[in-house]
Amino acid sequence: MNIIIIGCGNVGITLARILTEEKHNVVMIDKNPAKLSRMEDIDALSLCGNGASVAVQKEAGVETADLLIAITDSDEVNLLCCLIAGKTGNCHTIARVRDPIYNGEIGFIREKLGLSMIVNPEMSAAREISRILRFPLADEVETFAGGRVELIKFKMTQDLHLNGYTVRELDEKYKAGVLITGVLRDGQVTIPGGSFKLLDGDVVTILAAPKNSQSFFKKVGVNTHQVKNTMILGGSRIAEYLSQMLLDMKISVKIIEQKNERCLELSERVGGALVLCGNATDRQLLSAEGLEAAESVVSLLGVDEENMIMSLYIQENSKAKVVTRIQHLELGEMIGKLDLGSVIYPKQITADRILQFVRSTSAGMGSEVERLFHIMDGKAEALEFFVKEESEVTLNTLMELKLKKDLLIGCIIRDEKILIPRGQDRIRKGDRVIVVTTNTGLRALKDIVR
């Protein structure tokens, strides 16, 4: 595909790197030449200019482009860029729109401007945090097939009493209908077979229907109930979206924000939350507001380093479930060994949603990528495909298919039923198929075969 990206921030850089690696032709536009200089190691063209200019878009090739992605810091500029692209060329358009004021108008805006997709990283991040607080044992919870299947990431600890079990032994003992899809150990991801032995300290992902995952952890002896209260450090847009979601879940919310004007805005927009004006890094304030008794704390401060420090402090001084927002994706490798609780990368969430659209659009009509997540610190992918047509994949049983190495067919959703597939099963037209793999770049279900 020929793709134009307007906005050379972290999301733009991440997308450009992934899309060029997947052999798409990419042109990056930004007004700031210093930002464009960050693309020196990426095989993409760069154009310094205003992405909302017709002339600049034409110079970038909008008239023959397949997709234009507008992800500048301005919602209004992003919408204008997409509107111009829609009138000048014949391409799909994606805009990043973040301001909560537009939240109730997204459907109207998308329809009237003819947008293919609108992405909101803050809302997506808030939604992911809310899923984690509903299931606090998890470090990450992703959903497939409209919530009928969950992929849950958690760390093996002594409290789980699972050390030394093989995958097969675990399945035979608990019979809970869960499938272990990946294990991260010493920085390496393994798609485990039945003889793989689990060890304390492993980071594990399982795939299951929500009731089955609840049953599994209950049998293991772990409390899986959602938290009753949360303390949010920082009054960002994510905090605003998250507060309303948590209140809808009957979770009490306390927000600590330093700027008085923002406190007043939050008090008006999120009426059910307690908004406190103060420094969220003040240890005495945190203690006075009940940090020791908090069931969860979400650190959403403006600076990554502050979030990291606060999360480490909270881990040491409370038993709360901790969630840490990190903006800069390049910090992922550095913080992997730090105990920051659940780490959320809003920019990676946004990149994944856009990448999902690109792969689906470029794959053809046989099977489409419906959901895509980078998991296990970005070392693996979990994808949901919808099978629209018969193909080589549907003509044979799973044991007859020559699947790529390090790839697992996690489950098949058929007629509202969730199937943990066995070798004799077949994929059929109309199925939804969830695949977990360390092979990146799958665009269609046929790509699972060697």
Q: What is the pLDDT of residue 246?
A: 97
Q: Please work out, in degrees rounded to the nearest 5, the angle formed at the alpha carbon of residue 404 by the alpha carbons of 399 and 407.
A: 85
Do residues 388 and 330 both lie within one domain? no
| Domain-embedded: residue 244 | yes
Whether 54 contacts 80, CB under 8 Å: no
- The last residue of a domain, from among 98, 119, 140: 119
| Domain-embedded: residue 59 | yes
DSSP string, 239-291: HHHHHHHHHHTT-EEEEEES-HHHHHHHHHHSTTSEEEES-TT-HHHHHHTTG
Do residues 334 and 363 both lie within one domain? no
DSSP string, 17-77: HHHHHTT-EEEEEES-HHHHGGGTTSSSEEEES-TT-HHHHHHHTGGG-SEEEE-SS-HHH
| Domain-embedded: residue 165 | no
Q: Please work out, in degrees rounded to the nearest 5, the angle formed at the alpha carbon of residue 185 by the alpha carbons of 183 and 186.
A: 160
Whether 367 contacts 391, CB under 8 Å: yes
Q: Over the chain, what is the mean pLDDT?
A: 91
Whether 323 contacts 341, CB under 8 Å: yes
SS3 for 394? coil
Q: What is the pLDDT of residue 271?
A: 87
Q: Identify the helix (H) or strand (E) that includes residue 450.
A: none
Do residues 337 and 362 both lie within one domain? no
Task: For residue 433, give the DSSP letter.
Answer: E
Residue with the two structure tokens 């905090």:
239
Of the chain, the percentage scoring pLDDT greater than 70 comes to 97
For the cut 90, the answer to whether the pLDDT of residue 298 exceeds it is yes
Q: What is the pLDDT of residue 334?
A: 67
Question: Which residue type, as a one-letter code, is found at position 191?
Answer: I
Do residues 323 and 368 both lie within one domain? no
Mean pLDDT within 31-46? 92
Domain count, the chain: 3
Cα 386 off chain centre by = 19
Q: Distance (Å, rounded) from C-alpha 73 to C-alpha 83? A: 17
Q: What is the pLDDT of residue 441?
A: 81
For the cut 90, the answer to whether the pLDDT of residue 228 exceeds it is yes
Q: Distance (Å, rounded) from C-alpha 65 to C-alpha 85? A: 9
Residue 12, domain CATH: 3.40.50.720
**Residue 152 banded pLDDT, cuts 50, 70, 90:** very high
- The last residue of a domain, from among 66, 98, 119: 119
Do residues 439 and 405 both lie within one domain? yes
Tell me: the pLDDT tens digits for 156-166?
988 888 999 99
CB contact set of 5 (below 8 Å; sequence gap of 6+): 12, 15, 16, 26, 27, 28, 29, 68, 69, 71
Q: What are phi and psi of 293, to 5 degrees?
A: -100, -5
SS3 for 290? coil
CB contact set of 164 (below 8 Å; sequence gap of 6+): 197, 198, 199
| Domain-embedded: residue 431 | yes
Do residues 333 and 365 both lie within one domain? no
Question: How do beta strands 2-6 and 342-344 pair?
Answer: unpaired
| Domain-embedded: residue 270 | yes
SS3 for 295? coil
Do residues 312 and 234 both lie within one domain? yes
Domain that holds residue 18: 2-119
| Domain-embedded: residue 369 | yes
**Residue 331 banded pLDDT, cuts 50, 70, 90:** low
pTM beyond cutoff 0.85? yes
For the cut 80, the answer to whether the pLDDT of residue 101 exceeds it is yes
- The last residue of a domain, from among 292, 325, 344: 344
Q: What are phi and psi of 102, to 5 degrees?
A: -90, -5
**Residue 220 banded pLDDT, cuts 50, 70, 90:** confident
CB contact set of 319 (below 8 Å; sequence gap of 6+): none
Q: Tokens in use for 85?
A: 């692209």
Do residues 277 and 369 both lie within one domain? no
Q: What is the pLDDT of residue 364?
A: 57
Residue 378, domain CATH: 3.30.70.1450
**Residue 336 banded pLDDT, cuts 50, 70, 90:** low
User: Could you tell me the CA-to-CA distances from 32 to 49, 280, 336 in Å, in that order?
Assistant: 8, 33, 32
Q: Distance (Å, rounded) from C-alpha 375 to C-alpha 120? A: 20
| Domain-embedded: residue 172 | no
Residue 386, strand partner residues: 368, 432
Do residues 422 and 381 both lie within one domain? yes
Residue 388, strand partner residues: none
